[in-house]
Amino acid sequence: MSRRVNRVATISVHTSPLDQPGTGDAGGMNVYIVEVARRLAARGIEVDIFTRATSRALPPVAELAPGVLVRNVVAGPFEELDKSELPAELCGFTSGVLRTEASYDPGHYDLLHTHYWLSGQAGLAAKRRWGAPLVHSMHTMAKVKNAALAEGDTPEPQGRVLGEQQVVDAADQLVANTAKEARELVELYGADPARVATVNPGVDLSLFRPEAALLSRSTGLLPHRTGPARRRLRLPRDAYVLLFVGRIQPLKAPDVLLRAAARMLKDDPALRSKLVVAVVGGPSGSGRSRPEGLQALAAELGISDVVRFEPPCPQEELADWYRAADVTVVPSHNESFGLVAVESQACGTPVVAAAVGGLTTAVRDGESGLLIGGHDPNDYAAVLARLHADPVRHTRLARGAVRHAQSLGWDHTVDQLVGVYTGALTTFSPAPVRKSASTSTSTSASASASLTVPV
């Protein structure tokens, strides 16, 4: 008989669900955790989200939504830390999580859902202590990331690879964002296929929706150009707007868009009076990779006059940027899924993206956007110029984009996750954690220190 999940402990050590996505360490994973938690709570499943307190001013507990609590666990200094500094704080963090649970009756949490390997490490100790199943989402994987490094990116350390392996070996259920990620878990980390479920992340379809004009087939103009989003963002009606959204980091390759724009202007100088390249987002990580480099590149390419840099903004405002854009460009070297691509499509704006990782699921090539192999700016320039010259095709893709995004609502994600949770709880028996060859030799990994947690 299946068992009902009533309360979930979600762990997100390195980034808080209350952080603004699009800068620092906050991105799609934060959005995922918030959207899923809200919807679980609406279905009567309470969620406590444990994260590390980065400021003394943060309360120990904050209500994010009815039925969703954010627990700010004190571990290490009250400041943002680089991900590489976090393994040293995992022991203190995990103790804090365990102390919270110990203040309740046994069995307070039915299940743990951990996000990213650092949280998985904390989850390993909690799983053993609570006798509760561990569901884990990798979001990104060191082995995959290292195989697709952008110029200027540093490889992920071996400690992370080993730490990830430990989590994969011990998790009762792994949640992959795409079928491709599920295969990578099996092929690269030796995960048991029976313990890997594929659940696509989603999009908030009530927030990310097209302007009404797009839905009317009668309009002859490209509907974006007639809409109020352009007025609100002070963009000319006749501009050709190319949009980049996300953290400014080599992995996301915003430089490819800038170089492509420069090439388009070289090929068609008349476009200069119309082209706008909007870059919405902030620096990545703890501020070490700065967006100034991108501004310098724009100057070097002689296109500063057409590039508009915008700070990260709330999703309500972001929806306007998507609606105002002609095309959203996602030239990333890798994406576990690519929420930006789906949000843009939900707003009726086709995506031109690199054919990598989750983007091959997030975008339907030729239907809702166009995928490009590799990262040659000339290829992007050619595709974008062709699309600019072919409004009929653009409109067809815009409509296809809305259709595709509508199959990716968060409610669908949560339907599937509830199934995964129920399955994990029903089949769970608190057995000893499986060991792999790699775990038994991993004592030198910095991550392994976290496994000796005082309780």
Closer by beta carbon to ligand UDP, 249 or else 450: 249
Window 298-357: residues binding ligand UDP (CB under 6 A): 312-313, 315, 318, 337-340, 343
C-alpha 394/C-alpha 386 separation (Å) is 10
CB of 448 to ligand UDP, least distance (A): 27
* CB of residue 281 to ligand UDP, shortest distance in Å: 5
Positive or negative, the CA dihedral 242, 246, 248, 252 is negative
Closer to ligand UDP by Cβ: residue 177 or 442:
177
Q: How far is the CB of 29 from ligand UDP (least distance, A)?
A: 6
User: Using CB under 6 A, which residues numbered 266 to 305 contact ligand UDP?
Assistant: 280-281
Q: Does 247 participate in binding ligand UDP (rule CB under 6 A)?
A: yes
Smallest separation, CB 251 to ligand UDP (Å)? 8
The answer to whether residue 245 forms part of the interface with ligand UDP (CB under 6 A) is yes
C-beta of residue 328 within 8 angstroms of C-beta of residue 341: yes
Contact 248, 310 (CB under 8 A): no
Residue-wise DSSP of 118-155 = HHHHHHHHHHHHHT--EEEE-SS-HHHHHHTPPTTPPP
User: What are φ and ψ of residue 354, in 5° steps?
Assistant: -75, 140
Size of site (CB under 6 A) for ligand UDP: 20
Q: Which is nearer to ligand UDP, 149 or 385 (CB)?
A: 149
- Which value, to the nearest 10 degrees, does the dihedral of the CA atoms of residues 326, 330, 331, 335 take? -170
Nearest partner of 139 among 289, 312, 15, 319, judged by Cα: 15
Structure tokens at 258: 């800038």
Q: Which is nearer to ligand UDP, 27 or 350 (CB)?
A: 27
Q: Judged by CB under 6 A, does residue 24 bind ligand UDP? A: no
Q: CA-CA distance, 102 to 108, in Å (whole number)?
A: 9
**Which of these segments, 244-252, 267-275, 369-377, 412-420, binds ligand UDP (CB under 6 A)?**
244-252
Asked whether 48 and 7 are in contact (CB, 8 A), the reply is yes
Contact with ligand UDP (CB under 6 A): which of 8, 15, 16, 21? Answer: 21
Indicate the residue among 181 and 343 with the shorter CB distance to ligand UDP.
Answer: 343
Binding residues for ligand UDP (CB under 6 A): 21-22, 27-29, 31, 245-247, 280-281, 312-313, 315, 318, 337-340, 343
